[in-house]
Amino acid sequence: MRTSTRRSHRLMALAAVAALTTGVLAGCSSDSNDTSSNSSGGTSKGKTTLTVGTFGVFGYKQAGLYDAYMKLHPNITIKEDVTTRTDVYWPKVLTRLQAGAGTDDIQAIEVGNITEAVQTQADKFVDLGKDVDKSQWLPWKNAQATTKDGKQIGLGTDTGPMAICYRKDLFQKAGLPTDRTQLANLWKGDWTKYVNVGKDYMKKAPKGTKFVDSASSVYNAAIGGESQRYYDKDGKVIWDKSTGVKAAWNAAMAVATSNMSAKLKQFDPTWDQGFANASFATVACPAWMIGYIQEKSGTAGSGKWDVAAAPTAANWGGSFLGVPTASKHQADAIALAKWLTAPEQQEKVFAKQASFPSTPAAYPNLKPAAATTAYFSNAPITQIFSDSAKTIPVQVFGIKDQPIGTAITDIGILQVEQKGKTPAQGWSAATKEIKDVLGQ
């Protein structure tokens, strides 16, 4: 059984602190002739190594942005410090922020953690708002990273408008429609309809395959389309009374208590292998998932994947880049963060892996790479994600959004899906974990 989130965070914190003896240098390394300053203006002279801390696949390396920046700035070397799981990445960052050392020069912040960063860690980040033209980003994106007194601790990277990615070869073998418009109409407006398509798939499912990767995937997609989540607009915790949580939970339970789930934990190696083995036919697919599928499914999946509109417009994910005050290269880090998040660079990341920009100026120019378009059966990816992005409901995030959501998916839903517990028992386990997280 997994230990409580509080205990898990303590253990990870101890591990992170233990790593600080080497992490301080690794997180802010430079050559011996480094002469950079700590100020937020100008660019340093000499050879400087900047580290960019991320989770998952941000696409900067894949789109060649680091190489392009280093070519423009010969005095800069960029190293990416990647942690696969966000629930491991963020506690590690928090520990290093509190220690005042060991952070990367740029730290990515996931949308589920941005409220916590704004409300409890703002003094540990540089104010980036005064260094940029804020009108480049979606207003609501800027607002998520801005304190009450106007300090903006992060610059928006991508957003996560939702679609459904599916294996049309598996759908065909199961005797289901493969046309993306027809499928979108079958499940339009209700995740229960999506589950019903899954029931039909399982009647003639190709051997060794399931309809969906996990019940947690369905939960995350469904909650991303609900205006009411874990907190109300006054910052009060309402997760246990939230109509949005109830609807998403019910959809996930319909999957978890059926035979249609591959029962994989997202972002674990077994999940990655599931893509490679074509062991599930659909996955809830925010824009950033496009690049992930290409990477994990490999060349064998090209032309077999397709993209259809999701049951409801939803957002799952999206991130920011922040510059910790502990960075010894603030001027260079700010310049790099501004450049990486500018519309021109967001266009390039979209072209590589369809991560949807938070900069509206990029929208008219968005074109997926030809290889990406071919990989996903010439689906109109830009149009599908744009249509979703335009109608995503306004959502309220709270300080413990990420751990509350993780408790529901990694404790509650997994209890039902992988351990055979009842939905009531799964809910009870999630409740216990969340109360621990909230100190109740």
Q: Tell me: the pLDDT tens digits for 24-47? A: 333 333 333 343 333 334 444 569
Give CA 331 to chain center in angstroms. Answer: 27
**pLDDT at position 316 over 50:** yes
**Better-scored residue on pLDDT, 229 or 41:** 229
Mean pLDDT of 297-303: 96
pLDDT for residue 84: 82
Q: How confident is the model at residue 439 (pLDDT cuts 50, 70, 90)?
A: very high
The two structure tokens encoding residue 167 = 């294996």
Query: Among candidates 310, 324, 346, 390, which has minimal Cα distance to 117?
Result: 324
Mean pLDDT of 377-387: 93
**Better-scored residue on pLDDT, 307 or 4:** 307
For residue 284, what are the contacts with CB-CB under 8 A and spacing of at least 6?
162, 164, 212, 217, 218, 220, 221, 310, 316
Q: How confident is the model at residue 151 (pLDDT cuts 50, 70, 90)?
A: very high
**Residue 285: φ, ψ to 5°:** -130, 80
pLDDT for residue 270: 96
Q: How confident is the model at residue 395 (pLDDT cuts 50, 70, 90)?
A: confident
**pLDDT at position 106 over 90:** yes
pLDDT for residue 46: 62
Mean pLDDT of 139-149: 92
The alpha carbon dihedral of 17, 19, 20, 21 has a sign of positive
Average the pLDDT over each of 145-149, 387-391, 402-406 and give the range with the smallest value: 387-391
Q: What span, in angstroms and rounded, lies between the C-alpha atoms of 361 and 357?
A: 9
Give CA 399 to chain center in angstroms. Answer: 17
**pLDDT at position 68 over 70:** yes
Instruction: Count other Cβ atoms within 10 Å, centred on residue 281.
Output: 28
pLDDT for residue 185: 98
Q: Which amino acid is at 393?
A: P
Query: 319 pairs with which residues across the strands?
Result: 110
Mean pLDDT of 179-201: 97
Q: How confident is the model at residue 393 (pLDDT cuts 50, 70, 90)?
A: confident
Mean pLDDT of 352-375: 91
Rounded to the nearest integer, the mean pLDDT of the chain is 89
pLDDT for residue 41: 40
pLDDT for residue 2: 31
pLDDT for residue 32: 35
Q: How confident is the model at residue 337 (pLDDT cuts 50, 70, 90)?
A: very high
pLDDT for residue 45: 56
Q: How confident is the model at residue 325 (pLDDT cuts 50, 70, 90)?
A: very high
Q: What span, in angstroms and rounded, lies between the C-alpha atoms of 204 and 175?
A: 7
Mean pLDDT of 102-120: 95
Q: Which of the given ranges, 43-52, 239-248, 345-354, has the highest pLDDT on average?
A: 239-248
**pLDDT at position 6 over 70:** no
CB-CB contact of 160 with 224 (8 Å): yes
pLDDT for residue 392: 87
pLDDT for residue 98: 95
